[in-house]
Structure 1
Amino acid sequence: MNISDTFQETPLIHCVKEKHLQNVELVLRKGAKVNSTDSSGMTALMHAALLGTEEIAVKLIENGADAAIKDKKEMTAIMYAGCHGKKKLVTLLQKYDKQTSQSQIEGSLLIYYSKKGNLKAVIDAIEKGANVNSTDEKKWSPLISASHYGRLEVVQELLKQSDIDINAQAMMNTTALHHATRQCHPEIVHELISHGADINHQDRFGYTPLFYIQDEETAHTFVRFHEKINFDLKNPNNLTAIEFHKKEKRLKIAEILEQK
């Protein structure tokens, strides 16, 4: 009953991911270890929190699930619930997790509110002491989330915070500026660069934000900050951003960047 597969997922974790309460109850009755983890260190309770399956979470807790366990990404069940907007589960898990700080809990919710563009909730979470540099399982911070999804007002609010890490990196070493650029949010690109975002930061693939430009308006935005840009930086294929855009047939973008 506790045998795991290639990803070290036990039958209990499989049942939780399938959202099947009766099967969860069955494997627990047969002696499943409730706090067993998969290859990423996630417990069944963490998966239930991520999915928002409250009944299953309650059943796991009744059978001894430890809400304070951290996975390999230093995430707890309540942090998964917060990052994915499962507020009922956050309330439930607070009764059982006395290790995760209020700042971390509010910070997890802040990631979700930032993604959704809920400015009022963002302000409220910050006022409650949210860690503005908290991250989810992909290492996305509130600023990265807001920048990726084009939440301009949220980005502006986050940039007001004195302790904001504007160059925080996600799993692939991408920053908020990489995400705003790739998703074609020129106003956010302007805000980020104006507040000191590293315009020359290379991600895991060796690409600066300049390589991710998809539209002309964003290209024009970058050109306004031409004095900050190192146009000679090359990717692993030995191409500069301008050369890269030409190769990708984005000739108008290359032309705009050459106006530097």
Structure 2
Amino acid sequence: MSFKKETPLANAVFWAARKGNLALLQLLLNSGRVDVDCKDGYGTTALMVASYSAHYECVRELIMQGADINLQRETGSTALFFASQQGHNDIVKLLFEFGASTEFRTEDGGTALSAACQCAHSRVVETLLKHGASVHDQLNDGATALFLASQEGHVTVIRQLLSSGAKVNQPREDGTAPLWMAAQRGHSEVVKVLLLRGADRDADRKDGSTALFKAAHKGHCNVIEELLKFSPSLGLLKNGSTALHAAVMSGNPKTVKLLLKANADPALPNKVSLRHADYNILYTYY
């Protein structure tokens, strides 16, 4: 966390909060010469700094001195957001004891829950959900907490969110669903969990590509195997191409071989043109 220093006393308060120097923090606050909610040029408060830095006693002292728990930084972040982002579950619980809210959002639409899910802090996720955090909140681009966890491959968090009612097929605004993103990133265990919980294997993005097509293009064989277990169909895209096209055109013989073993039809539709080298890859393994 970076912040602009304002006054010498505010500077000292921020330093004490960041370093966890409780004695100095108490001395400064008890002097009556510095506001407990003093801010830097970005709107950062000492409570945010202490929460980010995992200094429990400093957080408690600031709260007892009257710090406003729900103040927002210039970016919209709160003390709860920072504690959740960093995985400090004891501080998250403490903030909730004194009235922290899960409703505040950052400028990109992020919440404490989305931050914890993206960073795989499952204990924090559990605490946030118990205190009313919504699994349905979305970033400005439409990404849900489930989407973010799927993107990063955080299986435990994904199971928590699905058990709390997260919509497995909720896409971003560009049509990208959690399954598509997990397949694109090569997270085979995530793909398996999402499929078992009802993810639509053949849902396509606005560009027409499916999870299977993208996995084939990226050469993620473990992901392809999971997708084919769920359905042996290669799924014809709107432009007439299939996952086999993607594998061939990306020049990945291992992926081509896998798809052919799955009884993929090597008679590729004429709508998609392939280079001579691509045909060589295909028929080497057919």
C-alpha contact 1:12 1:34 (8 A) present in aligned 2: no
Read off the aligned partner of 2:134 and give its amino acid letter.
N
Equivalent position SS for 2:95: helix
Superposition pairs of residues 5-24 of structure 1, within 5 angstroms: 8-10=3-5, 11=11, 15=15, 18-21=18-21
Going from structure 1 to structure 2, the CA distance change for 1:14 and 1:166 (only over 3 Å counts) comes to: farther
TM-score (norm 1): 0.58
CA shift digits 1:153-203 (9 cap, x unpaired): x53563355553643559x99753355335533243144354237853379
- Deviation larger for 156-165 or 76-85: 156-165
Q: Distance in 2 between matches of 1:48 and 1:165?
A: 36
C-alpha contact 2:201 2:227 (8 A) present in aligned 1: no
C-alpha contact 1:166 1:197 (8 A) present in aligned 2: no
Query: 180, 195, 201: which is aligned to 2:199?
Result: 195
| Equivalent residue number for residue 145 of structure 1 | 149
| Equivalent residue number for residue 104 of structure 1 | none
Q: Distance in 2 between matches of 1:253 and 1:16?
A: 56
Q: Distance in 2 between matches of 1:232 and 1:45?
A: 57
* Cα RMSD (Å): 5.1
**Unpaired runs of 5+ in structure 1?**
1-6, 102-106, 234-239
Q: CA deviation at 1:226?
A: 3.1
How many residue pairs were aligned?
231
Equivalent position SS for 1:15: helix
Aligned-residue sequence identity (percent) comes to 18
Q: Distance in 1 between matches of 2:145 and 2:77?
A: 13
| Equivalent residue number for residue 92 of structure 1 | 94
TM-score (norm 2): 0.54
| Equivalent residue number for residue 281 of structure 2 | none
| Equivalent residue number for residue 159 of structure 1 | 162
| Equivalent residue number for residue 186 of structure 1 | 188
Q: CA deviation at 1:126?
A: 5.3
| Equivalent residue number for residue 236 of structure 1 | none
Query: 227, 231, 234: which is aligned to 2:235?
Result: 227
Read off the aligned partner of 1:131 and give its amino acid letter.
S
C-alpha contact 2:14 2:49 (8 A) present in aligned 1: no
Matched, 1:68 2:73: no
Name which one, 1 or 2, has greater alpha-carbon Rg. 2
Q: CA deviation at 1:67?
A: 0.9
**Unpaired runs of 5+ in structure 2?**
6-10, 104-111, 266-286
| Equivalent residue number for residue 59 of structure 2 | 57
CA shift digits 1:93-113 (9 cap, x unpaired): 234436546xxxxx7399469
| Equivalent residue number for residue 273 of structure 2 | none
Read off the aligned partner of 1:181 and give its amino acid letter.
A
Q: CA deviation at 1:218?
A: 0.9
Q: CA deviation at 1:148?
A: 3.0
Going from structure 1 to structure 2, the CA distance change for 1:129 and 1:227 (only over 3 Å counts) comes to: same
Q: Distance in 2 between matches of 1:126 and 1:57?
A: 22
Equivalent position SS for 1:200: coil
Query: 193, 201, 220: which is aligned to 1:215?
Result: 220
Going from structure 1 to structure 2, the CA distance change for 1:229 and 1:257 (only over 3 Å counts) comes to: farther
| Equivalent residue number for residue 80 of structure 1 | 82
